[in-house]
Amino acid sequence: MAKRHYTKDGRPNAHAADRVQYEPMDEKQFLAALREKADPFVLVIDGVQDPHNLGACLRSADAAGVDFVVAPQKHTVGVTETVRRIACGGADHVPYIQVQNLNRTLEKMKEAGVWIVGTGDAESQLLYEVDMKGPLAIVLGREDFGVRRSIADKCDFLVKIPMNGHVDCLNLSVAAGVCLFEAVRQRS
| Cα dist from 94 to 24, 35, 151, 158, whole Å | 11, 17, 23, 25
Count of other CB atoms within 10 angstroms of residue 149: 8
What pTM, to 2 d.p., does this model score?
0.86
Q: Are 89 and 62 in contact (CB under 8 A)?
A: yes
Integer-rounded Cα Rg, in Å, for the chain is 16
Q: What tens-digit pLDDT sequence spans the chain (188 residues)? A: 344 444 444 444 444 444 555 567 888 999 999 999 999 999 999 988 899 999 999 999 999 999 999 999 998 888 889 999 989 988 889 999 999 999 999 999 999 999 999 998 777 899 999 999 999 999 999 878 889 999 999 999 999 999 999 988 899 999 999 999 999 999 99
Count of other CB atoms within 10 angstroms of residue 55: 25
> What domains, with CATH codes, occur in the chain?
2-187 (3.40.1280.10)
Q: Mind listing the pLDDT tens digit for each residue in 105-137? A: 999 999 999 999 999 877 789 999 999 999 999
Q: Mind listing the pLDDT tens digit for each residue in 9-21? A: 444 444 444 455 5
Rounded CA separation 113/135 (Å):
7
